[in-house]
Amino acid sequence: MLAYIARRLLYAVPILIGVNLITFMLFFIVNTPDDMARMHLGMKHVTPQAIEKWKAERGYDKPLLYNEEAQGLSTFTDTIFFQKSVRLFAFDFGLSDDGRDIGHDIYQRMWPSLAIAVPILVFGLLTNITVAMLLAFFRATYIDVTGVIMLVALMSISSLFYIIGGQYVIGKLLHLVPISGYDSGMNALKFIVLPVLVALLYGIGSGGRWYRTIFLEEIGKDYVRTARAKGLSERLVLFRHVLKNAMIPILTGVVVLLPLLFMGSLILESFFGIPGLGSYVIDAIQAQDFAIVRSMVFVGSVLYIIGLILTDISYTLVDPRIRLS
């Protein structure tokens, strides 16, 4: 087991190098630092001196990959690639383009992101499983058919509609909770309720439908027939046998998402004004702060790879038939 995890972690290294190369190519070779400087300083009436100054302040004035002027090892270390990209491996994110410490920002903004993402995951699982169980219990009746049609309709509505509608009805008409904003500690609760509700409503459509097919697949299996044959009621069959076995694909499907909870939700956070990592990214995109976007791409890839490893481990934990090799 440990050997397997160690091997998977080693396998992650070339992937992260690949991610790093892709972002490096996107950010520095397709468009040179000169282009970025011009973009930031405004397109017209930019003096070459201003561009040089902007680049020097942010360390973009070095050669890209190979520094001819430097001596010894620093021919490679004193370059943009080493300074800006390789250092990410040590989780040293450096400064953003407007001079803030990115590592500190990420640590600060992680908690509000988690405060919304965790309740969404937990309550989302609960509601989706409940809805799916209900539909599976009434399968092939009119309740099931109408239910599925409603789920399809729910998932055909844009998530933006739920957000804007939720803000308008609950926030503006009913004045139940503030429309947007955030506060520290327990005061955050009233700001969290609305985004979580909106996300739940949006998630029911696809989640409920997906879990319903998982339940129906389980119901078709032989052990269910055995359980019925020995005289168990339909309710007992569903809740004692089917639910337990259906949880295997459901939970292992969730595990890959766990690390990504740290990244937060782009749209929810920016609409509800929550200072998490999602809105951090959106702000960076809109301010064209490439240093932040670069760092977040890297963090996101690391979390995704951790999620993949956790998924493999969770398979062996819930299903003893699978052995890692």
Partner 1 sequence: MLMEGMAYFSSVKPVLLKTDALIFMLLAVIIAFGAYARGKAYLRAPWRKVFSSRTGMVAAVVIVFYGTVALLDSIHMREPLENKGHDGETFYSVEVISLLDLMLGPLKTQVEKTYSAPFATHLYAKETVELPDGSSARLYPRLEYGGAHLEDPQRDKGRDILLRSLSGAGAGLLAWVALGALFIWGMARRARASFSVTLKQILGGRTAIPWHMMLYTAGVFLVLIAVIASLAGHYHIFGTDKVGNDVLYQAIKSIRTALVIGTLTTLVMLPFALLFGIMAGYLRGWVDDVIQYLYTTLNSIPGILLIASAILMLQVYIDTHPDLFETDAARADMRLLFLCIILGVTSWTGLCRLLRGETMKMRAAEFVQAASAFGVRHSRIMSRHLLPNVMHIVLITVVLDFSGLVLAEAILSYVGVGVDPSMHSWGNMINGARLEMARDPMVWWSLLAAFVFMFILVLAANLFSDAVRDAFDPRTLSR
Least Å distance between CB 285 and partner 1? 5
CB under 8 Å to 130, separation ≥6 — which residues? none
By CB under 8 A, residue 301 contacts partner 1 = yes
The answer to whether 66 and 84 have CB atoms below 8 angstroms apart is no
Least Å distance between CB 263 and partner 1? 7
Residues touching partner 1: how many (CB under 8 A)? 48
Residue 275: strand, helix, or coil:
coil
- For the beta carbon of residue 63, count every other beta carbon within 10 angstroms: 14
By CB under 8 A, residue 277 contacts partner 1 = no
Helical ranges in 220-242 per DSSP H: 222-229, 234-236
Least Å distance between CB 27 and partner 1? 7
Task: Out of 1, 10, 14, 73, point to the residue binding partner 1 (CB under 8 A).
Answer: 14
Q: Write out the binding residues for partner 1, residues 198-257 only, by CB under 8 A.
A: 220
Q: Which stretch binds partner 1 (CB under 8 A): 38-46, 65-73, 184-192, 247-255?
A: 38-46
* DSSP 8-state class, residue 176: S
Task: Out of 170, 267, 310, 313, point to the residue binding partner 1 (CB under 8 A).
Answer: 267
Residue 137: strand, helix, or coil:
helix
By CB under 8 A, residue 30 contacts partner 1 = yes
By CB under 8 A, residue 288 contacts partner 1 = yes
Biggest distance spanned by C-alpha atoms of the chain: 86
By CB under 8 A, residue 305 contacts partner 1 = yes
Rounded to 5°, the CA angle 221-224-228 comes to 145
> Which tokens in the block code for residue 129?
């499983």
Please say which residue, 164 or 324, places its beta carbon nearer to partner 1: 164
Spatial separation of the C-alpha atoms in residues 246 and 253, rounded to whole Å: 11
Q: 């994110």: which residue's tokens?
A: 93
Q: Write out the binding residues for partner 1, residues 144-183 only, by CB under 8 A.
A: 152-153, 155-161, 164, 167-168
The answer to whether 299 and 150 have CB atoms below 8 angstroms apart is no
Return residues touching partner 1 (CB under 8 A): 14-15, 18-19, 22-23, 26-27, 30-31, 35-36, 38-39, 43, 152-153, 155-161, 164, 167-168, 220, 260, 263, 266-267, 270, 281-282, 285-286, 288, 290, 293-294, 296-297, 300-301, 304-305, 308
